[in-house]
Chains A and B, each alone.
Chain A
Amino acid sequence: MTEPVSMSEVVRIIGDDLTLADQRLQTPGMLGPDWQALYALRKHLDDIQRQLVMKVIKQNTAKYQQLTTDLKKASDDLKSISKELQTIADFFAALTIIVDLADRVLKL
């Protein structure tokens, strides 16, 4: 049984993911279109975090628990990808999953 993830924890998880995205964006060598695509994804996740901070979400639902548990796992995957210096395509794919999950939490 995994621990339920609080909204405060969700905001922290997203914050850590944004930091990883910034680290990638600040590293020279990325092609222009890749940089633009990753920047757009980072901006979208930042917008979601801003709205989540000010939103009251029912946390005692199965859907909330599932989405936030998945979000935590996706964030752990992103950390591994960053640590192992995998390709930008891998990083982008992992961050896309996070943005999608965070968006679904916001819509609850």
Chain B
Amino acid sequence: MRVNSRRNRALIVTLAIGLVILAVLSAGCEPEDYQRPIRQFQDASKVVISATEALLKNMNTIEQNHEVDQRIFEKRDLNLPEINKLEIISPTEIKIRTDALHALAQYTTNLAELAQGKPAASVGDSTAKLGTSLDQLAEDAKSLQVTRSFFDNNPRFGGALSSAGSAIGMVAQLMMKNKARRVIEQSIVDNDPAVTQLLDLIGEDANAAYQRQKNALGYFGTIASKAYQDELGRNPDPVELLNFAVMIKAYRAQVAQLADPSNAISKMRKAHDALVACVKSHKNPTAISELNSAVMDFVNAVRPLAAI
């Protein structure tokens, strides 16, 4: 009798400890735990999208200015209307990239909602629309000139858009059909390479735009400082020296403001990867902690862009 009572007490204590451990573990990843990283991810995404758009739009001005310099060097007519026709990237090509970034950011947000426990069907409709929107962007890209635009010509870039669109569309279908959670999770993981490949491609374009802008600025600084030095070597005119100083200060201010969005896009991709891991981890506290850390890295990478 006494033995039984001891056994019961031991069983109760073990059960109680088990319940406490369970409570501690599940308290580590309540739905609220996702809200802050989601909000931060959304805010950081907005900054990176607008900075990328600004940098891509500036690509044409940079190369047109280079043409101005070239014509001045060759002592040719400037013909500004003709120079304005020089286009490295068209408004449509810029829109395709920024719209794709918007769609990928929203897809990541939808995955976060799924991870925090929302029913799959409730994010299925919005996810399906993102897939369709990427498919449309793919059609737009494929209809553009073949030879234009960065490392990936338009049909190839369109192919990447199309793959990402299909991948997201497949996940959305499973969500809308209310398939078992593990089936949806597996599909998210299986289809993710197409999504991240698109993010990487946009990051590469942003890197190219940043590098061209950085080097155009460096050229400007070199010419300005050479002009100053040459003036110093003669009988220097103080007014001229001041004019060159104004140019040099303008150059320095622009250098200080220039930031590389491709680094932020790469951190955006890492935050996306961490979220996919969260979806699959069933609210594992380690996964959510890694998500928080990846989102913070993304937020920090975006900070220099906020000034653009």
Say whether chain B's binding surface is mostly helix, strand, loop, or mixed.
helix
Closest to A38 in B: B222
Q: Is B149 an interface residue (CB 8 A)?
A: yes
B66 touches which of A11, A50, A53 (Cβ 8 Å): A50
Say whether chain A's binding surface is mostly helix, strand, loop, or mixed.
helix
Q: Is B208 an interface residue (CB 8 A)?
A: yes
Q: Is A97 an interface residue (CB 8 A)?
A: no
B150 touches which of A6, A26, A39, A54 (Cβ 8 Å): A54
Closest to A7 in B: B151
Q: Is B133 an interface residue (CB 8 A)?
A: no
Closest to B218 in A: A22
**A50 with B212: CB separation less than 8 A:** yes
Q: Would you give the shortest CB distance from B267 to chain A, in whole angstroms?
A: 16
Chain A 1-35 residues near chain B, CB threshold 8 A = 6-8, 11-12, 14-15, 18-19, 22, 25-26, 28, 35
Chain A residues with CB under 8 Å of B149's CB are: 54
Q: Is A68 an interface residue (CB 8 A)?
A: no
Q: How many residues of B contact A (CB 8 A)?
A: 26
Within the assembled complex, what's the spacing in Å between the Cα atoms of A39 and B230? 15
Within the assembled complex, what's the spacing in Å between the Cα atoms of A108 and B221? 32
**A8 with B204: CB separation less than 8 A:** yes
Q: Would you give the shortest CB distance from A16 to chain B, in whole angstroms?
A: 9
Q: How many residues of A contact B (CB 8 A)?
A: 24
**B222 with A8: CB separation less than 8 A:** no
Footprint of B on A, CB under 8 Å? 6-8, 11-12, 14-15, 18-19, 22, 25-26, 28, 35, 39, 42, 46, 49-50, 53-57
Question: What would 14 A/B residue contacts be, using CB atoms closer than 8 Å?
Answer: A6-B204, A7-B204, A8-B208, A12-B211, A14-B211, A15-B211, A22-B221, A35-B226, A46-B215, A49-B211, A49-B212, A49-B215, A53-B150, A53-B212
Given contacts A19-B215, A50-B212, 8 further A-B contacts (CB under 8 A): A6-B204, A12-B207, A12-B211, A15-B211, A26-B221, A35-B226, A53-B88, A54-B149
Footprint of A on B, CB under 8 Å? 63, 66, 88, 148-153, 156, 203-204, 207-208, 211-212, 214-215, 218-219, 221-222, 225-226, 229, 262
